[in-house]
Structure 1
Amino acid sequence: MDQLDIKLLELLQMDSRITVSDLSKKLALSRPSISERLYRLREKGIIEEFSARVSLPAVGLDVLMFIQVSELKISPSEFEGFIKNDSDIIEGHRVTGTIGYILKAAVENMTSMRLLIDRLIPYGHVNTSIVLSSPVPYRRILPKNKQLD
């Protein structure tokens, strides 16, 4: 990955809908060169997917929370199967330490939050934190201290 690839990643994370023509102009490269770089970044697994960031409140999900789950009463694979199928959970991470899982969830209201917690309680100890604000809601990801090839 060279400096042009890094700049390409930055531009795509600012606007994933940017056209190849606009990328070509911004990076002073031909459209075929941009297309080849995009293909190579996808093939290397550096770009996993192109997606849209959705405003949770704009789609009626006004309560954002983090849930810590510890002392599982079932196997991790069973628990992971459950959380993968619960649409209120938008991220799930198995972590080290005394907490087994940290989940990020978004729900409509406090009643929906209670129902989600009620669904989780049979699986282990549940500790919930409601997000009051997000000073860093999203950060662009670029390589750090990586030797460029």
Structure 2
Amino acid sequence: MDSIDYQIIKILQDNGRIPVKKLAEIVSLTPPAVAERIRKLEDSGVIIGYKAIVDYKKLGKSIKAIIIVTMTPDKRKEFIEFARENDCILECHHVTGGFSMSIKAVFRDMTELEALVGKIQQYGNTQTLIVLSSPIEFKSII
């Protein structure tokens, strides 16, 4: 990877829908050259996908929480499947320290949050942190 690849990655992180022609103008290459670089970045696994960033509040999910779970290792695989299937859970991380998993989830109301916490407690103990605000929510890595 060279500096142009890094520049392409940075631009795509900020706007994954930018036309190749415009991206080519910015990095001073031809559109076919940029398209080939993007293809190589995708094929090598540097770029793993493109997603829409959704405003969950506009979908009625105004409560965001971080739920930290402590569980025994034998429950982890089953818990990960549960997390994968639950629509409220956005992220699930296996973590170090005194906890096993960290979850980011969004909810319509406290009743929905309480219901999810109750289900999670079948796997282990929980601590729930309500997110007041997210000053940095999506940030480019480069």
Normalised by the shorter chain, which TM-score bucket?
Answer: over 0.9
Deviation at 1:114, TM superposition (A): 0.8
Q: For 1:71 and 1:116, locate their aligned partners in 2 and report how far apart those are by CA, in whole Å.
A: 16
Structure 1: gaps spanning 5 or more residues: 143-149
Does structure 1 retain, via aligned residues, the 8 Å contact 2:64–2:131? yes
In structure 2, the partner of 1:136 is 136
In structure 1, the partner of 2:2 is 2
- 1:76-115 equivalences in 2 (<5 Å): 76-115=76-115
Tell me how many residue pairs correspond in the alignment: 142
TM-score where L is the length of structure 1: 0.91
Deviations 1:12-53 (A, max 9, x none): 111111001111111111011001100010011110101111
In structure 2, the partner of 1:14 is 14
Q: For 2:122 and 2:84, locate their aligned partners in 1 and report how far apart those are by CA, in whole Å.
A: 16
Deviation at 1:103, TM superposition (A): 0.5
In structure 1, the partner of 2:45 is 45
TM-score where L is the length of structure 2: 0.95
Deviations 1:118-137 (A, max 9, x none): 11111100110000011111
In structure 2, the partner of 1:54 is 54
Q: For 2:21 and 2:71, locate their aligned partners in 1 and report how far apart those are by CA, in whole Å.
A: 53
Structure 2: gaps spanning 5 or more residues: none
Does structure 2 retain, via aligned residues, the 8 Å contact 1:73–1:124? no
Q: For 1:79 and 1:44, locate their aligned partners in 2 and report how far apart those are by CA, in whole Å.
A: 31
Question: RMSD over aligned Cα, in angstroms?
Answer: 1.2
Deviation at 1:73, TM superposition (A): 8.3
> Secondary structure of the residue that 2:141 maps to in structure 1?
coil
> Secondary structure of the residue that 2:139 maps to in structure 1?
coil
Q: For 1:73 and 1:12, locate their aligned partners in 2 and report how far apart those are by CA, in whole Å.
A: 38
Q: For 2:18 and 2:60, locate their aligned partners in 1 and report how far apart those are by CA, in whole Å.
A: 28
- The reply to whether residue 66 of structure 1 matches residue 66 of structure 2 is yes
Deviation at 1:71, TM superposition (A): 3.1
Does structure 2 retain, via aligned residues, the 8 Å contact 1:73–1:123? no
Does structure 1 retain, via aligned residues, the 8 Å contact 2:75–2:123? no
Q: For 2:127 and 2:87, locate their aligned partners in 1 and report how far apart those are by CA, in whole Å.
A: 19
Q: For 1:3 and 1:73, locate their aligned partners in 2 and report how far apart those are by CA, in whole Å.
A: 42
Does structure 2 retain, via aligned residues, the 8 Å contact 1:62–1:107? yes
